[in-house]
Chain A
Amino acid sequence: MSVLVSGMRPMRIIVCIKQVPKAQELQVDPVTQTLKRVGVPSEINPPDANALEIALTLKDRHAAEVVVLSMGPTSFDESLERAIAMGADRSVLLTDRILGGSDTVPTAYALSETIQKIGGYDLILTGEETTDASTGHVGPGIAGHLALPQITYVSEVQIVDGTVRARRTAEDGTEWWQTKMPSLCTVNFGCNKPRSPTLTGKIRVKRGGVIAHWSCADVGIDPKKVGLFNSPTIVAKVDTIRLPPRAGRMFSGDARESVRALLDALIRDRVIVP
């Protein structure tokens, strides 16, 4: 095992994860036209799990401490515990009622302050975007606040001679970037297969003491800069998308018959011309 940073301590990787409702199970309530969130099971935002896997792979390869950070209600403990069970060393939940309703500006600010409070970090990883907010702004926002180098949309991270090398998926191709540490990377969904929790990891969770709950006061976060009222954006309203009605005709059974029926229909609709 190689000790990388200043030859003294293992590097510290902070992974920002958010707990989200499972996207596939979200339905729009036909009456209220709002999203039904209650009773929907939660998960670690999928790209964040990929980010955690990158951190744990780096930990396997080099001496590293993996700290998982989240901001949200205490129900997020479930995901933090899962992260510990997967192999993260410890976790911090920034939890405070005054944070409620924060958009990406206060979120990035509050997470940055908490990262500084944790201190001693060499690499920060976030997911490319969340499945509930899907902005992808929080990662680069943290880098902006902390004035760190950022590499977004990465699928692979290597530590080479104390520098970070990351493979980024850009618009027109893949790029390999190199930066000094500390720096921040946002990680692509699906770039690896997050590992399962281990028995040892679950025992650590049961033994307790792996999640620290911090309030804004604990971190020194300015209450005037967070929460719904201090967020620049508001969601004024939400419209349900009314998609055009679809015929919804299903063919099954013999492939030849199904295909014939399909082609008949498509020709009748003038979508294809014989």
Chain B
Amino acid sequence: MERFDAIVVGAGPAGSSAALTLARKGFSTLLVERGRSPGVKGMFGGRIYSWALHDLLPDWAKDCPVERFVVRENLAFLTEDASLAISYDSPKLGQGRASSFTALRAKFDAWLAKKAQEAGAMLVTGIRVDDLWREDGRVRGVLVAPKDRVGADLVVIAEGATSILTRAAGLKRDLEPREVSVGVKETIELPVETIQERFGLGEKEGAAFVFAGQASLGLRGGGFLYTNQSSISLGLVVSSEDLSRKKIEIQEVQNRFRLHPAVQRWIRGGKVVEYSAHLVPELGAGMMPRLWGEGVLVAGDAAGFLINNGYTFRGVDLAIASGVAAAEAAEAARAAGGMSAANLAGYEKFLRARNVLTDLERFRRAPLYMKNERLFDVYPRLLMEIAERLYTVDGSGKPRLADIILEEATSADVPKLKMLLDLLQGARSM
């Protein structure tokens, strides 16, 4: 039988980072990916905050398949046909540890997996791990149907949001609808020049948009738009509880979102070349699975390491950092005599050191905050109506700003105190 010191399941950002670090630390490491190649099964694109990559591969920028560095952040509130946007421009956004960039997962994941291979990990693609091999209360390797098994002292589960193995290992219970959102994403092709001209961007510069309000038809969630080199990633993340309550399909929400004038102006003339849908765990630190067991660790989305507060969407950076922390925990456990749960418990400490748990805890209120429908429906509408009255000059005499706000707020069916609380809560969780 084939044996390794460590097997990592899933060559997403978490898995490849774990495998890379394990290999560097001298573990014989097998990285197993069910897709034909890493990233083909994943979501196509998005934005990656680079700090974790800095730590893992200091010279990552040399050959990392970056689409564009984000230099402009936009936040837009939508009603049926109007939009109000806040835009933040800063060259600093695109530089250093705090930079973020857009990437296509098929390229990015393949690149990161290659780095893991270069560090000495063995990558096997096109194989789905069907179960963990468990014996005498500990994980001993992985099983592939019908009767194939490969042994290891440690298995790192980095299977992403589906978390089938995590549940099979008894580390996590089934998620309830209120704990998951559904993400969709379309990749829309446009010529490089069109993108740069339309968004007013330089060659490697990119823009990121977050859309609230009617983007998700008022359901909890929001929309996003990122510019890639010659395509646009356009998508939504929407509460699956709301979707099923309103009996509406996510595709339908996306279709309406795509047709919104505030979106159309950016994607006009483009061709949808790719569509994908994916689960997004909305756990928050309070509901995380157990992160370690006898001979097993969980990293990335499988562990629920995801921050979605409506304005920033972070998963890949936390996945990378948690993958590294998993390898550090393994190293410490090896020094302590083996991959027992007790020895692997150091994982928590390493996650904290890399700010994964700390950030998650800080944003723990975000999921709750996101459950506040007013933020996604009532307030955007309110803001918009104020804007409309501010900017509509029809000769009927222009009221003072303060009067407008007061008038609108009272008519918006939200008691004033409640509104104040919402705003406070929002500010705290961000």
Contact = CB atoms under 8 A, between A and B. Distances in A.
B18 interface: no
A135 interface: no
Interface stretch (B120-128, B157-165, B213-221, B316-324): B120-128
Nearest to B124: A202
Contact of A200 (B123, B126, B129, B150): B150
Judged by DSSP, the binding face of B is: strand
Interface in B112-133: 122-124, 126-127, 129
Contacts of A40: none
A212 interface: no
B145 to A, nearest CB: 10
A204 B127 CA distance: 14
Contacts of A206: 122-124
Contacts, number: 31
Interface string A197-208: 111101110100
A84 to B, nearest CB: 13
A197 B123 CA distance: 15
Nearest to A87: B148
Contacts of A197: 126-127
A199 B144 CA distance: 7
A12 B290 CA distance: 50
B32 interface: yes
A199 B148 contact: yes
Contacts of A202: 124, 126-127
A82 to B, nearest CB: 10
B142 interface: yes
A200 B148 contact: yes
B242 to A, nearest CB: 37
Interface of A: 197-200, 202-204, 206
23 contacts: A197-B126, A197-B127, A198-B127, A198-B144, A198-B148, A199-B2, A199-B127, A199-B144, A199-B148, A199-B150, A200-B1, A200-B2, A200-B148, A202-B124, A202-B126, A202-B127, A203-B2, A203-B122, A203-B124, A203-B150, A204-B2, A206-B122, A206-B123
Interface of B: 1-2, 30, 32, 122-124, 126-127, 129, 142, 144, 148-150
Given A197-B127, A199-B144, A200-B148, 11 more contacts: A198-B127, A198-B144, A198-B148, A199-B2, A199-B32, A199-B124, A199-B127, A199-B150, A200-B149, A202-B127, A203-B30
